[in-house]
């Protein structure tokens, strides 16, 4: 007799699923029985994540697209809602880090890209999947943020300002749906983690001195199984 898994029968959507924390969370969700929709731009990397999931006995669907392109999120929700009725889990792990510079030297093109992915795409995803999330028995949303969103730091203004807006969007959404649905929203700062984004921000750092994405994924999977209050915020230190 097969042993039941925590997320059996659940549908999960993970953005930024091609690498880093997003990939680790997607693999963890699939290992616990969820069918995971893998969203990212790198088709080859997404296929590698999917292969790993399938080799481990899990199931997934890749959705290679750029969330900042016009109509991409509309196409995504159309494809998913045409196959499934509800969405149980959404993990927002996709983000873009502009070059670290003084406020006066922010590159407009990079800043615009960060705003599009970190802020505008977040609002569009919440709006597009709101009906499917509300139809779930107990939908869970986790948004990955950064400490610089709440605590401004010199040279991090472009990224930090988008994460401040990201946090605000998720917090407001949590309050707006709290009384009319069973959706619960958490904002999590993963802290120092061994990712490509971290390497870009701290090029001289030994990656072995910070925790791997799998540690963050394990924490997020535990959080998803708990009855955390909506609007929950935390930072993962270790």
Alpha-carbon dihedral of residues 136, 138, 143, 147, nearest 10 degrees?
170
- Which CATH topology does 11-235 take? Rossmann fold (3.40.50)
Record the pTM: 0.97
User: Please, what is the angle between helix 20-31 and helix 43-55, to 10°?
Assistant: 30
Give the residue among 115, 128, 230, 107 at the shortest CA–CA distance from 163: 115
DSSP string, 119-165: IIHHHHHHHHHHHHHHHSSS-EEEEE--HHHHS--TT-HHHHHHHHH
- Domain ranges (residues) in the chain: 11-235
Is 29 in contact with 12 (CB distance < 8 Å)? Answer: yes
Burial class (CB in 10 A: 0-12, 13-18, 19+), 101: middle
Other Cβ atoms less than 10 A from the Cβ of 82: the count is: 7
pLDDT in tens, the chain (238 residues): 567 899 999 999 999 999 999 999 999 999 999 999 999 999 999 999 999 999 999 999 999 999 999 999 999 999 999 999 999 999 999 999 999 999 999 999 999 999 999 999 999 999 999 999 999 999 999 999 999 999 999 999 999 999 999 999 999 999 999 999 999 999 999 999 999 999 999 999 999 999 999 999 999 999 999 999 999 999 999 8
Residue 46 exposure: Cα atoms within 13 Å on the Cβ side: 19
């Amino acid at each position: 007799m097969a042993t039941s898994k925590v997320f059996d029968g659940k549908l999960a959507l993970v953005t930024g699923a091609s690498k880093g924390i997003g990939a680790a969370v997607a693999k963890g969700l699939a290992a616990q029985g969820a069918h995971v929709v893998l969203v990212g731009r790198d088709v080859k990397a997404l296929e590698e994540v999917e292969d790993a999931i399938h080799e481990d006995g899990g199931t997934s669907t890749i959705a290679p697209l750029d969330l900042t392109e016009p109509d991409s999120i509309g196409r995504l929700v159309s494809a998913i809602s045409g196959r499934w009725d509800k969405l149980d889990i959404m993990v927002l792990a996709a983000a873009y880090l502009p070059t670290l510079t003084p406020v006066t030297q922010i590159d407009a093109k990079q800043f615009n890209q960060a705003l599009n992915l970190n802020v505008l795409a977040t609002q569009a995803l919440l709006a597009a999947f709101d009906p499917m999330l509300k139809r779930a028995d107990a939908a869970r949303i986790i948004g990955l943020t950064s400490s610089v969103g709440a605590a401004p730091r010199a040279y991090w203004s472009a990224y930090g300002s988008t994460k401040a807006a990201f946090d605000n969007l998720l917090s407001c959404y949590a309050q707006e749906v709290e009384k009319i649905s069973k959706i619960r929203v958490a904002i999590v700062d993963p802290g120092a983690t061994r990712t490509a984004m971290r390497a870009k921000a701290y090029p001289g750092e030994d990656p072995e001195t910070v925790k791997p994405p799998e540690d963050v994924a394990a924490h997020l999977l535990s959080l998803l199984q708990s009855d955390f209050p909506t609007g929950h915020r935390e930072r993962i230190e270790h």
